[in-house]
Amino acid sequence: MVRPILYRLADCPNSSLCRRLFLPPLLSPLLRDVPFVSSEFPTPSCAAFPLQFVRTDQQLSFSSSFRTGASYQPLGFPQESSLGGTKQPGVKSKKRDISAQFAPGASFPAQMADLMESEDFFHQAVTEERRPGDPSGAKDDVSRLSPAIGIDLGTSYSRVAVWHEGEIKLVPLDENNNTEIPSCVGLGGSPDDSPGENILIGWPAFQLLPQGRAIHRARRIVGRVDTDESLQLGARFWPFLVQLPGIGIRPVIALKKGDRWESVNAEEVLALQLHYLRRAAERFLGRDVSDAVLTSPAAFTRFQCGRLAAAAAAAGLRVRRIVAEPNAVGLLYAAQEKQRESARRKGTGRSEAAGGAGKSDRGKGTGAPGEQKESGRGKETEGPKSDEKESEDKEKNVLVFHLGSGYCSVGIVCIDDGVSQSRAIAGAAFGTDDFVNNLVARALTDPRTRAPAPDAPTDRKTLFWLWQTYREAMVQLSESEFVDLPEDPALGKTLSRAEFEESNEGLFRACVDMVTRCLADARLKPREVQEVHLLGGGVRINKLEVRKGREYDDELVKGAALEAAIAGGVPGVDTGLLLLQGINHPLGIKVEGDVFQPILSRNALIPTSRELIFTTIKDNQEQAIIQFYEGEQPVVEQNVFLGCLQVAPLPRARAGFPKIIVCLDVDAGDALRAHARVEMPPGDYEDPPGPLPEPLVVKLPSVDVGHGWCKEALRIKYGTSADVRLYETAPTGVRKKDA
């Protein structure tokens, strides 16, 4: 059984467990009355999510129920789990093996180019060759029977789960049946520059980190620019090459190949990881996998999500949904609560049918796919009043706090009878890595002058070693007030908890601020939050040794797998389960004076859309450039540029006359589309205003190099000549009053 991830305040009277996660002591004044409830996850009584694992001494192995039917193939992992070079045994797939296209020794980018080019081929292969290749699925409902997989491509660890044979299963990712592997990509093979090297993923790559022959934490880099302060601070301590010239470009990263640096980019690294994970899922399921639901930190911008989706596409995966971390946890929890509830009802002898609306739960594995699904919908019935009361009582507000190694995500979800509704979400681009960064930075600073210590080490290897030492020390601080550090001139003698907390005061404060903001956004008082769920991977990344058979943070990937099954209409999934997600950051456009005009607000539940009317700022303005941004800042420059629409030619008219109608539309899959059209209000025109530009629709983000240059370039080229402002519809009420 999976070890519980949530901590009960009662479980840790001396708050040692809380210390482990750092946060409860900080959050507890804020959430004074809230029990840090945990439930065992999953509970032994929870029939919906039995995990088919048996724990042996060193690793997890599968119980007898591990069968995948006719297409089952024994797991055959090559010795080095390589992507390139060697042929992978044990994969019974008639389609051409994509990895076979990698020529041994070909350079990284060239291999990626191959991978990208092979995309068309790949999708073709999946659709054309599945039928002969897959004995079990022959008809159109193949896609229905083969749900998307859930992937948690974490900053430090990756996991895959899938709805399979009526339950959520974690996918073994390497020859040791580890269900989580480090998010590392490395170049293996001979240390000299001779051909025959392999791309390594996971643990084998992890071993190469200290030598600079592997990349980790690509998710921290993806979609960010070299001016990013947090990257600037943290990248010094990475063992591979990171160059941040600070000019607004994508960070240059490279790994060691022989004695040279081979440059890669974060998307490529993510694509290689995703490809590996996809292949592991295919092995496990014995079928092709083409769709995935990914989790993302709440802080991820749409630009970053877009880069993630591009990496997935390069790995042959279509992204069905990107689920923000707190929502993934919320959905899984909602499902488990519902399961518990129905188990309880059965236990007390009450008929489940008494539930009424929304009780289309037909349990798992009871067969009859699709029938109740039809009857559950299509009728516009609402439960009788008594039902509403009941569901009201069951409603639970749950605060999810996830401090990973690269990102921190906070969310409040409302759990009610299988539905998880997002009430508020907040995220920040820091994680436990940054806590360590601060410790190392402090160690390298002369305490008196506050300048870098003169004898501070500068070489990559030593810095990485220092960083790892402090990371280890940070974990030990969970259990003791002081930690003795190894003897080294660059280190002090000990590290105390007080020092740790002092170095990271700002980050602690930011954690609390996020919770406060979520509570305010959700319009909830702390005591209205019934439960707090804490999870975080940062604290466990510390030991360098391979730790087999230990699982944490599985909820994220299980939630993603569950959402994949729900959104894919997989038979056997409780149709009463539903995830209602919101928008993570406000979306809007730039208006006159470099002001950000939000159109869709943070936490608006999706799908949603809203239109606002804008107009010209100059007489006879020839065109309008609608610039789309995402972010919280009133000054548009400080937000993330998503793309622009050129609305031209505008009809000749006085300033403030043409109506430029801009609509932002976010669908259930969180895809954002911008619509723009022009209307002329009726009136007497001296000159006929001329034809109107055709309505436009564009999917955002529409730029693939955000990087701040686009807004600068737009400013240089157009100045304010294509700006817009809000169209003034004088409130009728006000006019009445004046009259």
Binding site for another protein (CB under 8 A): 141, 144, 357-358, 370, 374, 376-380, 382-383, 388, 391-392, 395, 414, 416-417, 419, 421, 516-517, 520-521, 563, 566-569, 575-576, 578-580, 604-611, 663, 665, 667-669, 673, 675, 697, 729, 731-734, 736-737
CB of 545 to another protein, least distance (A): 42
> Based on CB atoms, which residue is closest to another protein, 338 or 711?
338
Q: State in Å, rounded, how far the first CA of the chain is from the last one.
A: 74
* Structure token digits, residue 504: 């990271």
CB of 366 to another protein, least distance (A): 19
547 CB contacts (<8 Å, ≥6 apart)? none
In angstroms, the CA 473 to CA 294 distance is 32
Q: Identify the DSSP state of 82.
A: B
> Based on CB atoms, which residue is closest to another protein, 180 or 417?
417
Q: How many helices (H) and strands (E) does the chain have?
A: 19, 30
> Based on CB atoms, which residue is closest to another protein, 493 or 735?
735
Max Cα distance, the chain (Å): 87
> Based on CB atoms, which residue is closest to another protein, 371 or 388?
388
Which among 13, 40, 18, 2 has a CA at the least distance from the CA of 403?
18
CB of 522 to another protein, least distance (A): 11
Q: Identify the DSSP state of 396.
A: E
CB of 324 to another protein, least distance (A): 16
For residues 27 and 532, the answer to whether their CB atoms sit within 8 Å is: yes
> Based on CB atoms, which residue is closest to another protein, 524 or 710?
524
* Structure token digits, residue 325: 């971390």
Which among 199, 207, 218 has a CA at the least distance from the CA of 269?
218
CB of 379 to another protein, least distance (A): 6
> Based on CB atoms, which residue is closest to another protein, 212 or 358?
358
> Based on CB atoms, which residue is closest to another protein, 306 or 358?
358
CB of 163 to another protein, least distance (A): 13
In angstroms, the CA 306 to CA 477 distance is 38
Which among 732, 670, 661 has a CA at the least distance from the CA of 700?
670
CB of 597 to another protein, least distance (A): 10
* Structure token digits, residue 93: 């797939």
CB of 567 to another protein, least distance (A): 4
> Based on CB atoms, which residue is closest to another protein, 6 or 519?
519
CB of 533 to another protein, least distance (A): 21
Detail the DSSP E strand segments found in 220-259.
241-243, 252-257
Detail the DSSP E strand segments found in 250-298.
252-257, 260-264, 291-296
Which among 346, 379, 350 has a CA at the least distance from the CA of 363?
346
CB of 454 to another protein, least distance (A): 41
In angstroms, the CA 634 to CA 512 distance is 23
> Based on CB atoms, which residue is closest to another protein, 149 or 255?
149
For residues 475 and 16, the answer to whether their CB atoms sit within 8 Å is: no
390 CB contacts (<8 Å, ≥6 apart)? none
> Based on CB atoms, which residue is closest to another protein, 167 or 417?
417
> Based on CB atoms, which residue is closest to another protein, 154 or 576?
576
CB of 568 to another protein, least distance (A): 5
Which among 598, 616, 618, 623 has a CA at the least distance from the CA of 696?
623
How does strand 408-416 pair with strand 180-182? unpaired
Which among 506, 724, 533, 534 has a CA at the least distance from the CA of 624?
724
In angstroms, the CA 185 to CA 193 distance is 18
For residues 198 and 106, the answer to whether their CB atoms sit within 8 Å is: no
> Based on CB atoms, which residue is closest to another protein, 106 or 595?
595
For residues 209 and 186, the answer to whether their CB atoms sit within 8 Å is: yes
* Structure token digits, residue 98: 């994509």
CB of 167 to another protein, least distance (A): 19
What residue type is assigned to position 3 of the chain? R
DSSP string for residues in 602-621 = TT-BSSEEEEEEEEESSTT-
> Based on CB atoms, which residue is closest to another protein, 4 or 669?
669
CB of 177 to another protein, least distance (A): 31
Q: Identify the DSSP state of 19.
A: H
